[in-house]
Amino acid sequence: MNAIDPDIAGQLASELPRDDFVRILRTFEDDLGRLARLLEAAVATGDEDGYRRAAHSLAGAAAAVGALRLEHVARIAMDPRNPADPRALAVQVRQEAAAALAELAALADNPPGSA
């Protein structure tokens, strides 16, 4: 499975002007960094509510650009019934975020139909 859903991200890339698509990616990248820092800070301080809020925001942002694996990990983190270690999930969030950003950047460099 790819880090991003090619249908969702590809549709964005093909339907939007390249500059708009790149702007969305940059905004996503900024938001992702901010939200990951909030998630990690909440883990470090034991702030369960802050952790779940950050995970919820991450899941929404990831869904908007088709970052399915990141969305999945964030949804696990936001579920209060899930027994997974928040520290481990924060690491997974960072890994999935990096993979999604790499694939989105490649798509921005070579959007569908640009050949």
Render pLDDT for 26-44 as a digit per residue (tens, 0 to 9): 888 888 889 989 999 999 9
Average pLDDT, the chain: 87
DSSP assignment letter at 111: -
Q: Residue 95, class by beta-carbon neighbours within 10 Å (0-12 exposed, 13-18 middle, 19+ buried)?
A: middle
C-alpha distances out from residue 24 to 21, 30, 35, Å: 5, 10, 16
**In 1-115, which residue ranges form alpha helices assigned H by DSSP?**
6-15, 18-45, 48-65, 68-78, 86-109
Q: What is the CATH number of domain 6-109?
A: 1.20.120.160
Render pLDDT for 90-109 as a digit per residue (tens, 0 to 9): 999 989 988 988 888 887 77
Reported pTM = 0.84
